Amino acid sequence: MSKISSGTTTATGLVQTSDTTGNLELQTNNGTTAVTFDTNQNASFAGDVSINNGNYLSSQPTFRNLIINGDMKIAQRGTSATGLTSSGYFTCDRWRFLAANVGTWTQTQDTDVPSGQGFTSSLKMQCTTANASLTAGSNGSIITRFEGQMLQHLKKGTSNAESITMSFWVKSNKTGTYIITLYDGDNNRIIAKSYTIDTADTWEKKTITFAGDTTGAFDNDNASSLHVYMWLMAGTDYTSGTLQTTWHGQASANWAVGQVNLADSTSNYINITGVQLEVGSTATPFEHRPYDVELARCQRYYFYLDDQGGVTNQVINAGFMYDTTRGRFFVTFPTTMRTNPTIVSTNITSSIEFNLNGTGVFAPSAVLPFGASVSVNGVLLQGTADSGTGSAGESRYVRIAESGAKIEFDAEL
C-alpha cells in the first residue's frame, strides 16, 4: 500500500492503493494528492502549510528578543577601553557601563563565549584597580535602555500586562549573588531578582522571569522607558533595604540587595553574552539575528564615519564650496536615528578633504552642523578652512584622505 485516500462517501471511507514507487501519498477527495513522502523521507505539500492556526510558533518567532546586541557582536566604538572609572558607552553597542566609586575597569569585546551556542563575542569587565570598601553611593552595572515605543506590546499598566523573561550567559571568577533590576523610568518603578554564579570561571546560563506590571504604562515615544541593570557591585545606598522582587515604586535601598562586590580584587572579571528579554514566562533559545540587521538596529543609536581601519581616500559624499573658505557636505544616516544626534568630530585637520579632480584640495580644520540642519535622517556639515581654498559653488567630493579622522553621530538613550 502506498496511497491512502479519503473517500467521498461514507461507504468508501479510506481507500488504499498499491504501487511500486516506494512513495507514500496522502490524498483527499478520493484521489487528489495532498502530501507525498518520497523514498528519501522528504515531504512535499501540494497546498499551503499552516501550523498552529497560522502561528509558526506559540510565541513571536522573530524579533522576540527585545534586547539589541544581546550577543555583543556589534562594537562600533571599539573593542577595548581601559582606565574606566565613570559611566559611558565604550565597546559593545547599546550596553552602557554605569560606574561611580567602583575602582577602575577595562571593558572589552571578548572572544570568550560559551561553547556550542553560536556566539562569537561577549562583553568582559576586568577590574584593574580594586575597591574593596565601597562607599554608600558606590554603584556599578552594565545597563541597556529601551524606547517606550518599542515596548507597547508588553501592555504595562493594564490588567493584561505581560510577564517577561530574561536569559543570558555569564562567567566570572567571583561566585555568589548578583542582581538584575528593571527600572521603569516613566513611572519610577522597579522590580529586581537575584541569580547565583555557582562555579568560578565557568559559563552558566541564567533565566529570570519578571511578572507583568499592571501599574504605570510606558510612554509611547522615543524616550527611555525601561532600563535593565545587570549589577556588578553596589554600596549600601542600594543594598540596605529589601530586594524589591515585585513591581513597586522605587526606593534606592531596594535595588541591589545581596549583590556581591565584583570590585574587591583586581583578579575579578565577568563575561556576559546571549542576553535575551522576551514576552512570557519561558526562555526560548537565543535569537541569532543577522549581523547587518543587528548593526542597523544599533545605528539607530550610534554610528560613525572614519577610515575604516586605515583605508584612506574613502569618499564620504558629494560636497560643494559655499565660499572660498567654507565647504559643505551632506551625510545621510544609514538608518533613521532615534532622535537628532549629537555630532562629534575629531582629528579632522589634514584628514578630511574637499577634492576637485585632484587639482584642488580644500581641507577643513573642523566640521560642524550647518545651522539647524541636523535631523534624524541626515545633516549638512560645514568645514572651515585649515588649508586650501575653493570657489563658491564648486562641486567637490569629500573624502577621508588620511587615517585618524572620525565623525560620530550619537542618539543613545
Partner 1 sequence: MIETVKNMKDANGTLTGYLINGTMSVPLDESNTDYQAVQEWVAEGNTPADE
Q: Which residues bind partner 1 (CB under 8 A)?
A: 86, 221-223, 338-346, 368-369, 371-372, 374, 410-413
Kindly state the cell numbers that stand for 350: 589634514
Q: Give yes or no for a contact between 333 and 377, defined as CB atoms under 8 angstroms apart.
A: yes
Closer of 195 and 370 to partner 1 (Cβ): 370
CB of 283 to partner 1, least distance (A): 31
Q: Which long-range contacts (CB under 8 A, 24 or more apart) does 344-349 make?
A: 344/406, 344/407, 344/408, 344/410, 345/405, 345/406, 345/407, 345/408, 346/405, 346/406, 346/407, 346/408, 347/404, 347/405, 347/406, 348/383, 348/405, 348/407, 349/386
CB of 323 to partner 1, least distance (A): 12
- CA–CA distance, 104 with 84 (Å, rounded to integer): 5
CB of 341 to partner 1, least distance (A): 7
CB of 304 to partner 1, least distance (A): 13
Closer of 186 and 213 to partner 1 (Cβ): 186
24-28 β-sheet, strand order: 14-17, 3-6, 24-28, 32-37, 43-45
CB of 340 to partner 1, least distance (A): 4
CB of 369 to partner 1, least distance (A): 5
Closer of 174 and 338 to partner 1 (Cβ): 338
Rg (CA), the chain: 28
**CA terminus-to-terminus distance, the chain:** 65
- CA dist 52 → 56, 59, 285 (Å): 7, 11, 19
- Stretch (H or E) spanning 295: helix 291-299
CB of 55 to partner 1, least distance (A): 35
- CA–CA distance, 47 with 332 (Å, rounded to integer): 45
Neighbouring residues of 208: CB distance < 8 A, sequence distance ≥ 6: 165, 166, 167, 180, 193, 195
Closer of 245 and 335 to partner 1 (Cβ): 335
Closer of 65 and 345 to partner 1 (Cβ): 345
CB of 221 to partner 1, least distance (A): 8
CB of 344 to partner 1, least distance (A): 5
Closer of 206 and 300 to partner 1 (Cβ): 300
- CA–CA distance, 283 with 209 (Å, rounded to integer): 8
Closer of 88 and 285 to partner 1 (Cβ): 88
88-89 β-sheet, strand order: 88-89, 96-100, 139-147, 224-234, 176-184, 189-197, 248-249
Closer of 203 and 302 to partner 1 (Cβ): 302
Closer of 26 and 223 to partner 1 (Cβ): 223
